[in-house]
């Protein structure tokens, strides 16, 4: 039996109503993401909630449905409270003679083609490169980069937790920690740049989808925060931390370690998963200590991974 025009109209309006109610529910529920790990998983979609709520509010304004307009405005305001601060201007230092350019790339452990990654390195010419999910087949790639990046700290693994740090500048000291609770590798390196020493940490905690993964990620973030709080040098933490800026445990981690996200003032800049553009969330991070200024934060083009690379330019703040 054919459905009449009035029935289709009622169905479409019902979808609009349901869409706004569901968006409002998740927007409010995820504000209490410390209550349960599933709430945190849905907290990472603030940008999407804001976009959907804005579009639906415009639709209900056009329909002149005052009740749904009020609900839409409230939902937009709640999500804007989380999203908009990332776009607000922050203080930038005056131009300096020296800076530290850092490229982070989760290249995907199954990615056998490094050509796009190498093109990006040639284009950006970073001083420090951090690679995560290092494929075993990329040994030749790392060797080929030794002319420009002679200082390399590498932990090859068969799982997605292989990691590497490559530097133009001397690595004065380095260690690959077995981070609790799963002994996943974390790189701790002191880099002798022209403007002085920097400490660079790189970590890739477990994905928090399961209850065990959630607990293990949180324990590793806690340990990383303790390590960061002891650093006497300008500090940079680089990695796929498997959480967005809106997760409760992320907030605890950066607050305890007195870190800032390099995204501040540059926008949300989501990085994963690039195979689902409407679902992109920001889980790849560069975090810095208070004595570091950020002058550039950009996401790069696809390199055959499910993550976008991140490029930042950093400067040491003057005392």
Output the pLDDT for position 2.
40
Output the pLDDT for position 1.
34
Greatest alpha-carbon span in the chain: 77
* CA–CA dist 123, 129 (Å, integer): 13
**Closest among 235, 315, 250, 236 to 282, alpha carbons compared:** 250
CB 40 within 8 A of CB 26: no
CB 293 within 8 A of CB 87: no
Output the pLDDT for position 6.
61
Mean pLDDT for back-to-back runs of 10 residues, the chain (319 residues): 59 88 97 96 98 97 92 98 96 80 97 97 98 95 97 96 98 97 97 96 97 97 95 96 97 96 98 96 97 95 97 90
Assigned token pair, 25: 């529910």
Assigned token pair, 2: 């054919």
**Of all helices (H) and strands (E), which one includes residue 76?**
helix 66-83
* CA–CA dist 116, 305 (Å, integer): 10
Distance of CA 35 to the CA centre of its chain: 22
* CA–CA dist 195, 220 (Å, integer): 31
* CA–CA dist 158, 156 (Å, integer): 7
Region for residue 304 given its phi and psi (left: phi exceeds 0; alpha: psi -120 to 50; beta: otherwise): left
- 238-258 as b/e, with b when 16 or more CB fall inside 10 Å? bbbbbbbbbbbbbeebbeebe
Structural domain spans, the chain: 5-87, 100-316
Assigned token pair, 243: 């959480």
**Closest among 86, 95, 15 to 50, alpha carbons compared:** 86
Please report, to the nearest 10 degrees, the dihedral formed by the alpha carbons of residues 28, 276, 155, 187 taken in order: -30
Output the pLDDT for position 95.
65
Q: Domain 100-316 sits in which CATH superfamily? A: Endonuclease/exonuclease/phosphatase (3.60.10.10)
């Amino acid at each position: 039996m054919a459905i009449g025009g009035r029935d289709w109209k009622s169905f479409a309006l019902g979808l609009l109503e349901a869409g706004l109610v569901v968006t409002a529910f998740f927007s409010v529920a995820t504000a209490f993401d410390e209550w349960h790990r599933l709430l945190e998983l849905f907290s990472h979609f603030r940008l999407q909630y804001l976009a959907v709520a804005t579009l639906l509010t415009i639709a209900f304004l056009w329909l002149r449905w005052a009740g749904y307009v009020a609900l839409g405005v409230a939902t937009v305001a709640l999500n804007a409270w989380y999203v908009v601060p990332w776009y607000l201007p922050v203080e930038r230092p005056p131009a300096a003679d020296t800076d530290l350019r850092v490229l982070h790339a989760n290249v995907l452990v199954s990615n056998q083609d490094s050509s796009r990654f190498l093109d990006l390195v040639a284009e950006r010419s970073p001083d420090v490169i951090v690679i995560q999910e290092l494929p075993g087949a990329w040994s030749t790639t790392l060797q080929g980069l030794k002319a420009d990046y002679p200082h390399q700290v590498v932990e090859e693994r068969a799982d997605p937790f292989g990691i590497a740090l490559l530097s133009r500048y001397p690595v004065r000291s380095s260690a690959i920690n077995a981070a609790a609770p799963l002994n996943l590798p974390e790189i701790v390196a002191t880099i002798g740049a022209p403007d002085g020493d920097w400490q660079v940490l790189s970590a890739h905690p477990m994905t928090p989808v399961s209850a065990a993964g959630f607990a293990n990620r949180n324990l590793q973030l806690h340990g990383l925060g303790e390590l960061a709080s002891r650093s006497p040098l300008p500090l940079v933490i680089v990695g796929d931390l498997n959480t967005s800026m809106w997760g409760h445990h992320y907030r605890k981690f950066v607050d305890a370690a007195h870190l800032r996200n390099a995204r501040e003032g540059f926008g949300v800049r989501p990085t994963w998963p690039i195979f689902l553009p409407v679902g992109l969330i920001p889980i790849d991070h560069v975090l810095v200590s208070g004595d570091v200024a950020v002058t550039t934060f950009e996401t790069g083009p696809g390199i055959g991974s499910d993550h976008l690379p991140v490029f930042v330019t950093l400067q040491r703040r003057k005392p």
